[in-house]
Structure 1
C-alpha cells in the first residue's frame, strides 16, 4: 500500500510539473530549440555533444544562394545540423519551410546575424516555435545572416526544406512585373552630378499605380523633378513611398488607403517630359533613400525536391574538391583524397553537403561521391 502511495505521489508531482511548464511556456514562448534542449538536461555528456555539433555547424563557412531546396535526414543516433550563410537585402522577406510536419519530426530553426565579417551574434534574431517547421523574417538590414536547422534526434526521418525570399510590398504598377523595371538604383543622373534614388517602371500612359502597402497619403502635388507626385506613409513612424512623374493623381492628402488602391496614373511629368511614360518609385526612411527593388521585386515560387539520400559515402577520384557553396564558381576549401570517408548531411540539387572527420564541412558534386555499401 505504501509502495502504491509513493507511485501515486510521484505521478501527481510529475503531472503538476508538466502543467506548470505548460503554463510557463504560454508566457515565455520558448523556441523549438529551447524546448529540445530540455530533453538533454539530465545527460551532461549528450548535452556537451549537442553543443559541440551545433557550434561547429554554426561556425562553418558554407554559403547558400537563394532560392534553394535542401534534402536531409535526421539521425536517431547522433545530431545532424545544417547551417548556411545567407545574403539578405533590406526589404525582402526571408522564408524557410519544410515538407514534413512538426508532429512527425520537429525541426529547430534559428536565424543569426553577423556582427562583422567573421563574428556571428550569440543571440538569435528569430527562431521557430514548437509544433511549427517554418520561419519568416522581414529583413531590415542588408547583410550576411546564418540559418541553422537542427532536426530532433528522436527518430530517423527524411525531410525537405525550401529557402527563399519574397517582396514585402506589392508591385506598384498594375499589371506589370520585374521586366518593366528599366532603370535601377544608383544609375547616373544629371550628367553624373547625382544618382538615381529609386527604380523606373515603364508602362503605357494612364496605367494605374497602386498602393504597395496600407497607409495614408502624407502629401501630393505637382512640383520639382518629380512632377505630379504622391507620397504614401507606411504607418505613423514608418517609411515613405514616393510615386513620381504621374499623369494624374487619384488621391488627396490625408486620405487612408489600402493595398491595391489606385493612387494615380503613369505619365511623364516633371523632368521626365522627354522620356517614355513611367513611374519613378522610391522609398525614404529616417536615414534617407533606400533601394526599393528588394521591397517590390517579384520572385518565383520554388517547389520541394526529392533526392535519394544515403548517409555514408566515400570520394571517387584522386582529387575531390570540397567547396563552400553548391557551385563550381564558389571557393574551394580543400581537396580530399580518393576513398576519403564522408558523412552526408544534406543535398541541394546535384551537390552533397558533407561532413569529414566530425568537423570539416563543405559541398561536393554528386559525381565525386559514392555510397558505401
Structure 2
C-alpha cells in the first residue's frame, strides 16, 4: 500500500499574549483568597493561630521540598499547629502534569491546592487554584522550568490525604494508525543543509485518518502552496497552533470545535 506524509507542525506559532489559563485565574478571587478574606472578616487573621496559618503558607512557597516526578505520598495535617506543604518539581515543555489529591471524606476537611511557576530569580507566580471540591486537575506545561504545588488545609482542620503527581504528553499522536511512524523531525537538514525542516513528517497509508491531537478549534482550512491541503488547529487554552499539511482531504471547517481524537482530515501527498 502506498505511504504518504502528513507533516504535523506542532508549535507553528507562538504568541506573546497570556494564555487563557492565566487570565482566568486573575479575573476573580481564588478559593484560598476567598478563605483569607473570611479569616479577616471573622477576626482570625490577627490571632496567634491566624498568623501561624499565614506564615505556614508563605514558608511553603519560600522553602518548598524538591521532589522528582512521578511523585506520590500519603500525608496528614494535625492539630498541633497550622501547616502547609510546598513541593518543587521540574517539568518540561509539552508535558501534561496531572495532580490527584484524595482526602478523607470528613465534611469539614477542606484542602487548598495551588500551582505556581518559579522564574529565574526565584519569584513564584500563581498558575492554577482549583476549586476545593475537585480531586484532580492538570496543567499543560508551556515552558520548561521549576514549579511548586502548595497544599494547605483550612485553619483548625485536620485530616489525611493521598497525593500523586504524574506526567505524560500534552498532545496525542495525530495519526490514527498504530503502524504510522515518524520519518523526520523539526530541525532536520533539508536541501543539503541549506535550510532546516519546520515540521514533523509522519508516514502512514494514504487516506489514514489524521486526528485532533488535543481539544480545540479549527482556525483555518486552506489549500495551495507547499503544504497542499492543510488544517490549522488551536488547542484550547494554548498559545500555539497545530498544522496538518499534505492532506488528501479536509473533513473540518473553520471555526469548528473538535475533541482530541476526532478526525480532521485524511493523510495524503498534496502540495
Which of 52, 57, 64 aligns to 1:54? It is 57
Structure 2 gap segments, 5+ residues each: 1-26
Tell whether the 8 Å contact from 1:102 to 1:131 is kept in structure 2 after alignment: no
Greater displacement, 165-174 / 63-72: 165-174
Equivalent residue, structure 1, for 2:10 = none
Query: Does 2:117 correspond to 1:113?
Result: yes
Tell whether the 8 Å contact from 1:229 to 1:242 is kept in structure 2 after alignment: no
Q: Distance in 2 between matches of 1:170 and 1:199?
A: 14
Label 1:235 to 1:69 Cα distance change in 2 as closer, same or farther (>3 A): closer
Q: Distance in 2 between matches of 1:68 and 1:182?
A: 34
Instruction: Determine helix, strand or coil for the equivalent of 1:234.
Output: strand
Tell whether the 8 Å contact from 2:95 to 2:140 is kept in structure 1 after alignment: yes
After superposition, give the CA deviation of every residue in 1:96-143 in whole Å (9 maximum; x if it has no partner): 22122573621111122223242224xx22213344444444444443
The alpha carbon displacement at 1:30 in A equals: 4.5
Tell whether the 8 Å contact from 2:221 to 2:250 is kept in structure 1 after alignment: no
Equivalent residue, structure 2, for 1:218 = 220
The alpha carbon displacement at 1:49 in A equals: 2.3
Give the TM-score, by structure 2 length: 0.68
Instruction: Determine helix, strand or coil for the equivalent of 2:63.
Output: coil
Give the TM-score, by structure 1 length: 0.52
Query: Hey, which of these two has a bigger chunk of helix by percent?
Result: 1
The alpha carbon displacement at 1:180 in A equals: 3.9
Tell whether the 8 Å contact from 1:33 to 1:108 is kept in structure 2 after alignment: no
- Alignment: residue pair count: 238
The alpha carbon displacement at 1:90 in A equals: 4.8
Equivalent residue, structure 1, for 2:245 = 244
Label 1:187 to 1:59 Cα distance change in 2 as closer, same or farther (>3 A): farther
The alpha carbon displacement at 1:31 in A equals: 1.1
Tell whether the 8 Å contact from 2:249 to 2:267 is kept in structure 1 after alignment: no
The alpha carbon displacement at 1:184 in A equals: 3.8
The alpha carbon displacement at 1:217 in A equals: 5.9
The higher radius of gyration belongs to 1
After superposition, give the CA deviation of every residue in 1:21-70 in whole Å (9 maximum; x if it has no partner): xxxxxx96541464167448435322332333332221226333333222
After superposition, give the CA deviation of every residue in 1:231-276 in whole Å (9 maximum; x if it has no partner): 2243899643211243x12347647363344333334555xxxxxx
